[in-house]
Structure 1
Amino acid sequence: GGRARLLALSEKLVAEGIETELVALLVDHVENSDDFALARIRPYELAAQWQQTRRAVLEACLAATRAGMLDLQWNLICPMCRGGPAMDSLQEVASQVHCAACSIDFTVNFEQSVELTFRLNPSIREVHGDTFCVGGPQVTPHIVVQQLLAPRGNRAIELALEEGRYRLRTLGLPGGQRLRAAENGAREVTLKANSAGWPSEESLIAKRALVELENQTDDEQLFILERTVWSDDAATAAEVTALQVFRDLFAGEALRRGEQISVGTLTVLFTDLKDSTRMYREIGDATAFGRVMNHFDVLKQLIAEEDGALVKTIGDAVMAVFRQPTAAVRAMLRAQQQLGSPPDGMQPLTLKAGLHTGPCIAVTLNDRLDYFGSTVNLAARLEAQSTGGDVVISASVYSDPGVRELLSDGEASLVATRFEIPLKGFAEERFELWRVSVQNRSVSEPRADRGPRAGSSSGVADATGSSTQP
């Protein structure tokens, strides 16, 4: 019965390309674990135990779900006790949830309060696991400090922390501030919560530190400082739904109509082909359509290789999302190079691209998981500023430490030219942008930025043409 089916499915997974060692580890886990472990399988915990990469174990679990060995489930995570019910589909997830154990209502977001886990499919073996608090008997061991601050209020607190990583967040704002406690950290730190979002850099603080909390919003905020050991092992919905492999295998996983749930910070990409209308006229509709379809395949592959996901195509354009800005920049530079230098006999294509990083909202459009918000709108506007062969990035992308490191890498030979421009739909606000390209690659004159181009040295050029290292 069940064991024969398990072994048959394991052979199917190997045939589909999942590593034999991973399949063997998964089968061993299924055969030798108790109901408690098999009712809530956390792929990143298994990755640590098996000394395998997180992505490989996650993809193995997703493939095992498609094959019928596992079932996926979305665990709702109470911000207080970390317990909560499991849902079989994202369509069952509501934006407002009540935790009976803590007697609180909380707003769901994909980054903090929805985790993808798996359970054994009952065709192999029935497992019984009750909803539990992952914090154990002492329900909130991960929470170090909680402070309720009035609108525009502030408070100083003394902290005695163990060495390691922490996160400061509030119940009313998406995302959080990453912290690391160490002996050489700052002994006095000011941490601010505001509607503009949290800093992307990790702050180093002393194990014994005086921390000033500032609520810069017009609403009361509950500040929560928590250890991240548990959440570091969580495959959050924000991360998983932004992966191409998930969107390919589970295209039907979407929110119920009308629901809007925060996914935290994403890097949003929009692309378009330059002069595609002329290409259709010159080589004919059928041939041009084939080239456009081929360019979609190239983009999808390169986006997936950088742990991103293609959300949708719009005519000749693509919308995609990434968890990391650096990955998005790398993917687009590679795409422009590959499309611009095709195999012999194929016509080169010039790709325009724009990137912006910021908070996003997940919704369902056309029965697929999609994203909207000002971050998405701004990214779409940036694509229009690209002239082809360059990637236009916003200040939030440029300020990411990984992006700055990539731009300063001499071997990459990248040039980032700064310019400012008002963007339609944003109340004539002027935006600080950068045009990133490979040095010595021919880039046509900017449409809105008519200043001199970057000089011959790699680095960052301002609007006057002077060059400085980022």
Structure 2
Amino acid sequence: MSDIQAQFSVLKQTADAKVVDAIARLIDDGEDHELNRVNVLDFSREHGLDEERAISGFLHSARLGLFDLGWNVLCPGCGGVLGAHSTLKALKPDDYHCALCACGYKASVDDQVEVSFTVNPRVRRIAAHDPDTLPVWDYFRQVFWSSGVDFNKESFATLANEVTLDTMELPAGEKATMSLQLPNDFIIIFEPVTHAAHFIDVQGEPTKDRQQLAIMYNRVQAPTGTTTMRPGPLRLSLENQAGVRVLPSVFIAAEALHHLIGKRKPFLTAKRMLSNQTFRDVFKADNLSLDQRLQITSLTFLFTDLKGSTALYERVGDLAAFDLVRAHFHALLEIISSEKGAVVKTIGDAVMATFVRPEHAIVAGLRMRAAMDELNKKRGTDDLIVKIGIHEGPCLAVMLNERQDYFGQTVNIAARVQSLSTAQEIHITGPVLDAPAVAEVLKQHEIRPIQKQAALRGIADKMVVYEIR
């Protein structure tokens, strides 16, 4: 049995069978570009797979060495990859700069860090493993732009034929010239390998005199400059001192270009990955470093606690109580995972979990309550009563006690809201209730939240919370 066959044999034991079959077909029959920076959400949609099972399948594939996991920092303006990293630890705390958009950005894990999968070269070698050999447009498509930019063959035909005045491959150490006819448009000379750009503001009366512009490429990331020129002939002199091949391309920065790169599709974000149970279980070593503080603008926290667990141990005895608590944990953890959430930690009989969207947390909370009712019914008692609190807001992703955790007032409020419950009520906050999808969930279950003011320990002002009975 080959190493790859052995890896797939193990994968079949840990991942969904349909996902494994789809991954095997991709590796065997997929085109090279389809195996580079795989957009798992796209992949699951095209193959009719459950997104969470597809994500889990690719994560297990990466653990086994079939794929390499990538964390790509994206420009929110053009969708370009500003930094490609093999681990989450490699994300820089300082700004990433996009020369094409002439802007700097922090690496927000909410929607600016893409998680993708590229086939390992030992499994199958593809053209993107040697990016310096890729033709210009393949380099743009597979290396510079992310999997979230919705390109197709027609898009690139338009980009090449209608939006681009010229492009070239310039080997390391060489010089070349472009002879261009500048239209009365804003022009961008962009080089994707070194992420360098120069703007030409074309204005005024046309001229027949040849204008001159010289650009040198190196490894120094200089600010994007702007030169004013008139419509007419331009001699563009290019010199490559970057030590690698460069791909200078001259774009017309008009509506057509903005339309092409403005079309987006969903992709797997770092925020969603951090709230994925498989990732938390399998890739503990590929998590944050001790000194990292990743800001998340919006994350939903769900806290649970088992009411009266001390009295339960006294009432039914240690052995019976342990079995009950274990059954309660098993039900809760299964529900959290199936509703696109992840367990951050358990503390005694309590659970802290995260969800990317508040509606998933609400559905999980309702299912938890029903699951406890079912367990109680089987035993003919009311021993298992779970208190639940849900809150949504900004936070920091950090490392605490050798595991990825969260810090901030949002976490504190979520924990305090849970403590308001005295029976199997669910308490939620205004930001959770205000989410349109949450209102739809409550409507479907014919639930009318009860508004009340609550004083939360450690929180200065009283808060408006909502009780779901």
Distance 1:32 1:325, change over 3 A: same
Q: Give distance in 2, aligned partners of 1:327 and 1:398.
A: 12
Cα deviation for residue 100 of structure 1 reads 6.7
Equivalent pair of 2:15/2:57 in contact (CA under 8 Å): no
Q: 1:394 aligns with which of 419, 422, 429?
A: 429
Q: 1:310 aligns with which of 335, 343, 351?
A: 343
- Aligned residue identity for 1:377: N
Structure 2 counterparts to residues 3-402 of structure 1, below 5 A: 4-20=2-18, 22-81=19-78, 82-99=80-97, 101-102=99-100, 104-127=103-126, 128-130=129-131, 131-134=143-146, 231-342=264-375, 343-344=378-379, 348-402=383-437
Q: Deviations over 1:5-31 (max 9, x none)?
A: 4344334333435224x3333223223
Equivalent pair of 1:274/1:349 in contact (CA under 8 Å): yes
Q: Deviations over 1:371-408 (max 9, x none)?
A: 12121111111011111210011111122222222222
Q: Give distance in 2, aligned partners of 1:9 and 1:435.
A: 49
Partner of 1:431: 463
Equivalent pair of 1:390/1:436 in contact (CA under 8 Å): yes
Per the normalisation by structure 2, the TM-score is 0.67
Indicate the SS of the match to 1:321: strand
Cα deviation for residue 35 of structure 1 reads 4.5
Q: Give distance in 2, aligned partners of 1:436 and 1:228.
A: 44
Cα deviation for residue 321 of structure 1 reads 0.9
- % identical equivalent positions: 31
RMSD: 2.9
Q: Give distance in 1, aligned partners of 2:280 and 2:356.
A: 15
Q: Deviations over 1:20-74 (max 9, x none)?
A: 4x33332232234455443322212323433434333322212212232112111
Q: Give distance in 2, aligned partners of 1:80 and 1:129.
A: 27
Distance 1:54 1:334, change over 3 A: closer
Q: Give distance in 2, aligned partners of 1:296 and 1:226.
A: 49
Cα deviation for residue 228 of structure 1 reads 9.6
Per the normalisation by structure 1, the TM-score is 0.67
Q: Which has the higher helix share?
A: 2
Q: Deviations over 1:92-133 (max 9, x none)?
A: 122324337456542111112211101112331344154423
Cα deviation for residue 415 of structure 1 reads 4.2
Cα deviation for residue 360 of structure 1 reads 2.2
Equivalent pair of 1:252/1:368 in contact (CA under 8 Å): no
Equivalent pair of 2:15/2:53 in contact (CA under 8 Å): no
- Aligned residue identity for 1:376: V
- Aligned residue identity for 2:82: G
Distance 1:273 1:48, change over 3 A: closer
Equivalent pair of 1:35/1:129 in contact (CA under 8 Å): no
Equivalent pair of 1:44/1:234 in contact (CA under 8 Å): yes
Indicate the SS of the match to 1:319: strand
Q: Give distance in 2, aligned partners of 1:27 and 1:289.
A: 42
Structure ranking higher on relative contact order (CA contacts 8 Å, 6+ apart): 2
For structure 1, the 5+ residue unaligned runs are: 140-224, 438-470
Q: Deviations over 1:131-171 (max 9, x none)?
A: 423469879xxxxxxxxxxxxxxxxxxxxxxxxxxxxxxxx
Q: Deviations over 1:282-315 (max 9, x none)?
A: 2334443343233222111011111111110112
Distance 1:133 1:366, change over 3 A: same
Q: Give distance in 1, aligned partners of 2:313 and 2:272.
A: 38
